[in-house]
Structure 1
């Protein structure tokens, strides 16, 4: 029996993804003037597949397709085939700043949600007070 649902684990995975994305964006921004630096991005597709694989379904027939479980790692990949600067650098500072702002909002939303879960647990442990 699990003490907590998968919600806290899924929120933790989201925080890990967001933290990694923030580090990659910061690395891109710090290398905006580095010749031949190729901007990097964090793969969301693998995270989405991981979230979809974490669903549990009750199989009422052995012929039904099972839902799988797999722990996939967050992937960081170079953005190939694009060059924004004359020195071979592929960092678009406006795009990176936009992604940074979006990621900060996403991270804060996850933090607020996980705090709500812990506050609910705390309330239950205190007898609803």
Structure 2
């Protein structure tokens, strides 16, 4: 009997990918905290995960290089964040404390997903080898 990794792992690999993208987005916000006119970006995790899951399930590929690749046209739930603080005068909307908290939260969720996948892999390995 064949093992389907997509069924075994579920949506967790896509969750890790979206969390990694979210970490890059938050790190970009922190790096640009002093850049005049920079607008903080945020990610709707639920929408991004749904899009990542749909991309994996849809087998759509381009048959001609002039066709649009539907899978890359999605924005993964990325948009500008509504600022919590008033404008400081330079047009930058990054609140470093908020970004640090979001980064920490995302990091913990990434680690939890990684541990879950790790336990799934151990379970599959145990099923394949018979517990040896």
Coarse TM-score class (shorter-chain normalised): 0.7 to 0.9
Q: 1:26 to 1:51 in 2, by over 3 A?
A: closer
Q: 1:104 aligns with which of 93, 103, 107?
A: 107
Q: Is the contact made by 1:20 and 1:42 (CA closer than 8 Å) also made in structure 2?
A: no
**Superposition map of 1:45-124 within 5 A:** 45-47=46-48, 49=50, 74-80=76-82, 83-124=86-127
Question: Which ranges of structure 2 fall in alignment gaps of 5 or more residues?
Answer: 59-70
SS at match of 2:42: strand
Question: Which ranges of structure 1 fall in alignment gaps of 5 or more residues?
Answer: 54-68
* In structure 1, C-alpha distance between the alignment counterparts of 2:94 and 2:117, rounded to whole Å: 33
Q: Is the contact made by 2:14 and 2:52 (CA closer than 8 Å) also made in structure 1?
A: no
Name whichever structure is richer in helix by fraction. 2
How far is 1:3 from its partner?
2.1
Q: How much is the aligned-residue C-alpha RMSD, in angstroms?
A: 2.7
When normalised by structure 1's length, the TM-score is: 0.74
When normalised by structure 2's length, the TM-score is: 0.72
Q: Is the contact made by 2:23 and 2:103 (CA closer than 8 Å) also made in structure 1?
A: yes
What is the total number of aligned residue pairs between the two structures? 114
* In structure 1, C-alpha distance between the alignment counterparts of 2:46 and 2:126, rounded to whole Å: 36
